[in-house]
Structure 1
């Protein structure tokens, strides 16, 4: 603390502040006596100036006012300044009155405090105004692109504050969805009209670019997109909070994406608890090169892990992850393995070499139709056997926590992929009984926007080719969340969970896939007339809707609003042994009917659908 005060004392901002404090003190006497100071009071002003200066300086120092940057002063800084001036004025009053200066005019204390606050605040505001004006003059007007903001007054205010750090734009007006906002101004920018006349406002201001300032998932934002996409307007948005952590994100706007329209409120994380769990630890992530696995790596890297051990069967995915993390987190020790979770000895050797405190198991085969025909045994070996190996290795090396990334397709499964993930949950619960010192948790969630193999990349490719966009059924619905949201909730569940628990994520409202397709077509700047939608029929193992809980399950609330705990029947004691025994006798190519029959024995709620070959 003393070193901080010493830096404050050496701050260059002290000199103008001290001069203004002295001027305010004398001006208080001048105003008190009607613009002239009689001789006796002039002597009092001269004698008490050092005391007033010292007391006011102490008040400002205690409020840490010298640490303020005048160039970026804001309301919070002005409130801090007011507190420092008030404290200084009280000290001045106490010291001067304590010195028993006879006949001292007490109103000077109040007048000088008000004048000091006005002078110090005015100096800072003037400095910032001049700095911004100088910066604006240094930019050629031709280099600034006109920008129209769409949003309410509150949303526009936040956008304008953010845009102060974004170069290349000149805000020429605001279009608000609220009629009562018309004609008002925000930070000197006028609300020109409503969203209904957006194209007319843009033409009048010669603005070809529109910034959507509303929050992700806001209906107004979605209406603007559906109405004005393809009209020639370039629709942009600000970076999300998660994107702001990436280099350069704060200096650029970006195109509106699907997750901006389907987004939900940001995830509230127990930052302190997660930092305590991961900071300085060794963390092992399987399936690290996949969509969820790689985001888990990014999230734990931001939490300050000392060593991140990344395991993935794909050489290319591992290479890409290595290049990204080395650049983004140069201080973190990253170790990258191209290994398969189906090989227990190799997985054990990796874990013994690094002794991870936390194991995040994201390795899995997840593509439903692909696993439904010809690859059923592969789904069983990776999703179940791989989970068994990873869970046991975590216990053997003394990991504190093991987290399985599961899926909503494990609930009342109608396909092999979902049944194997449900069996994987049972395996994790069984292994939890073997290693009491390790906390084993499973986390279920639905589809993730933009993940590999999901509908979004497929639809995007089809739109680029001119269509048609293929949807299996007009009534098919799915739950969606963004990749960062899914990864963050996995980490939060891993922190909160007790061994053997299965967490269910709040996935919000389900979305019709055909509506998703329409939004993507609009985002591309095209219409359904240009890119048609075709319905192809349900694929093998596919449901019209997904469930997050089985019919005979109930959930319990947790302290986190987006996490609930599923109460499920305990697995059979022999589940792990049964998996190993059946795979050993099944051989390399078991009959699909035999495999499905055995899966149904282990997962009674699994109802296989007829398979078309």
Structure 2
């Protein structure tokens, strides 16, 4: 008896009103199913009113109540009902029917098999129907103001995304879009699957605000083609993580995010050469200066995959160093990597400390990413900019020479070419320092890598544009004809790592970044991908202006 009581307490739901309301409704359905079975299933019980019938019905109500509670019918959250809840309902109704058969024999009601079948059908339809109705009503009431979206991709990832969105009330999926013509005009979980040509009419008819890309395995070229086809529509384009991130466990399918920065490049990413990346890293002691910055932290992520003997992180910012240290150790734990990660606070201007570090840990390779790279900031803080970018590079490079470090790679910039600002001039000076050291007898190979504008780095226009778009604009651009070469932060890090193997001493390596991109075109592309119109589109959607602020002196 105590076991039965424990089961009842364990399986019955905590909210009393929820429990009593559903139980009362279910018992009314049981009574209706009993009468229906009697009327439809047998003529002998067409008008059940005798005492034996009332006794049998009372026993059946009590038995069914216990069965429903023990089966956990009242612990299910109605709006999240799935296949398991349906299976629990099938079992509960079947047990109730068996109980009715037993009651029929004990009370001499002698119900025929047809009556029991009718009872099962009526009870299943009644119990299931009220729950489905409640679920549908909840979805309608909570999603009246939900954002209407289209899922691009009707494969497994798209279906998982639909299921995830159905569990919330923020999004309402209108339809699937897929490039496979065999899927067109089919229906998946109540949503039609249509072709890419139907997107404009869907957006207009259903006032769709977002298109969610659920094609994680698509090539970069295919993703870019799809995004280009959506740029002219008044919708925000977002995406689920790439297949590599899903497989590695770094992301899950319902982590909706903005379009990947690689999709803004306007060209295919340059593939790396793994054998070059590993040449200066695998089984070597590697050090990254400025490890807490955007470039430095990406270098650390890439270095992990090549199994260094030891990784040393140096940064002057305590918080930045703490953050990158936590991330690196988390990545090592996730991927089963086992090598020491050493975090050191310090300035690259401290030559003696750097030499001591290089000798103490027998450093083989140094990636020098510590620098001030914000043009306006360095322009207003000339002495600090020069001290960090020039003196810091001299101190680090000379310490590496004295300590016998094998390879020293300087992260430079294309602004060092015929520099027009202090930041570019300071980086050019740093390059000349390394080229000068390469002329003396030294055990260290000094290499220089020049970047274009790195999408997503702290010095890039992309974070600024995103911030301006999220605040409603305007997006500020210096001049309509200004253009820049762009590369992704992943490309930038891979270029640095490969250059250590390619350089012979004093070499300047540059990535082939294709054609330059006009900054205003990048800004307008980001505005449209965020679901806004640019003023010159002459459309009636919500607009964000591009404001020209003039070239810096």
Q: Which moved more, 1:501-510 or 1:191-200?
A: 191-200
Is 1:168 the equivalent of 2:170?
A: no
Distance 1:244-1:447 versus aligned 2 partners, 3 A rule: farther
Q: Which one has the largest radius of gyration?
A: 2
1:294 corresponds to which of 289, 292, 297:
297
Which residue of structure 2 aligns with residue 257 of structure 1?
Answer: 259
1:269-348 to structure 2, matched below 5 A, reads 269-330=272-333, 331-348=338-355
1:407-556 to structure 2, matched below 5 A, reads 407-529=413-535, 530-540=543-553
Give the distance between the partners of 2:185 and 2:410, measured in 1 at CA.
49
Which residue of structure 1 aligns with residue 129 of structure 2?
Answer: none
The total of aligned residue pairs comes to: 390
Give the distance between the partners of 1:268 and 1:241, measured in 2 at CA.
17
- Cα deviations across residues 9-43 of structure 1 (Å, max 9, x unaligned)? xxxxxxxxxxxxxxxxxxxxxxxxxxxxxxxxxxx
Q: Which moved more, 1:161-170 or 1:363-372?
A: 161-170
Is 1:355 the equivalent of 2:357?
A: no
Structure 2, unmatched stretches of 5+, are 1-81, 87-131, 167-172, 536-542
Distance 1:351-1:246 versus aligned 2 partners, 3 A rule: farther
1:116-195 to structure 2, matched below 5 A, reads 137=83, 150=152, 160=155, 168=164, 173-176=176-179, 182=181, 192-195=194-197
- 8 Å contact kept, 1:202–1:208: no
1:197 CA drift (Å): 3.5
- 8 Å contact kept, 2:412–2:451: yes
- Cα deviations across residues 204-228 of structure 1 (Å, max 9, x unaligned)? 8999753264644655333343233
- SS of equivalent to 1:537: coil
Distance 1:160-1:446 versus aligned 2 partners, 3 A rule: same
Q: Which moved more, 1:250-259 or 1:363-372?
A: 250-259
Which residue of structure 1 aligns with residue 227 of structure 2?
Answer: 222
Give the distance between the partners of 1:381 and 1:242, measured in 2 at CA.
41
Give the distance between the partners of 1:216 and 1:278, measured in 2 at CA.
28
1:447 CA drift (Å): 0.7
- 8 Å contact kept, 2:241–2:257: no
1:518-597 to structure 2, matched below 5 A, reads 518-529=524-535, 530-540=543-553
- 8 Å contact kept, 2:364–2:407: yes
Give the distance between the partners of 2:159 and 2:370, measured in 1 at CA.
43
1:357 CA drift (Å): 1.0
- 8 Å contact kept, 1:395–1:437: yes
Give the distance between the partners of 2:513 and 2:280, measured in 1 at CA.
25
1:521 CA drift (Å): 2.1
Give the distance between the partners of 1:353 and 1:298, measured in 2 at CA.
24
> How high is the TM-score relative to the length of structure 1?
0.57
1:285 CA drift (Å): 0.6
- Cα deviations across residues 226-278 of structure 1 (Å, max 9, x unaligned)? 23343xxx633342466457633254453332614323434422223433431
1:461 CA drift (Å): 2.1
Q: Which moved more, 1:196-205 or 1:269-278?
A: 196-205
1:528 CA drift (Å): 3.1
- 8 Å contact kept, 2:262–2:488: no
Structure 1, unmatched stretches of 5+, are 1-135, 151-155, 541-613
1:392 CA drift (Å): 1.9
1:413 CA drift (Å): 1.1
Distance 1:273-1:215 versus aligned 2 partners, 3 A rule: closer
- SS of equivalent to 1:481: strand
Distance 1:513-1:149 versus aligned 2 partners, 3 A rule: same
2:213 corresponds to which of 208, 211, 214:
211
1:169 CA drift (Å): 7.1
Q: Which moved more, 1:375-384 or 1:305-314?
A: 375-384
Give the distance between the partners of 1:389 and 1:187, measured in 2 at CA.
66
1:344 CA drift (Å): 0.6
- SS of equivalent to 1:349: helix
- 8 Å contact kept, 2:446–2:505: yes
1:339 CA drift (Å): 0.9
Give the distance between the partners of 2:404 and 2:186, measured in 1 at CA.
57
Which residue of structure 2 aligns with residue 235 of structure 1?
Answer: 237
Give the distance between the partners of 1:288 and 1:351, measured in 2 at CA.
16
- 8 Å contact kept, 1:292–1:451: yes
Distance 1:139-1:519 versus aligned 2 partners, 3 A rule: farther
1:335 CA drift (Å): 1.3
Give the distance between the partners of 2:207 and 2:528, measured in 1 at CA.
24
- 8 Å contact kept, 2:209–2:234: no
- Cα deviations across residues 488-520 of structure 1 (Å, max 9, x unaligned)? 111112222212211011122211111222222
> How high is the TM-score relative to the length of structure 2?
0.62
Distance 1:248-1:289 versus aligned 2 partners, 3 A rule: closer
- Cα deviations across residues 393-433 of structure 1 (Å, max 9, x unaligned)? 22222222111111100111111111121121111111123
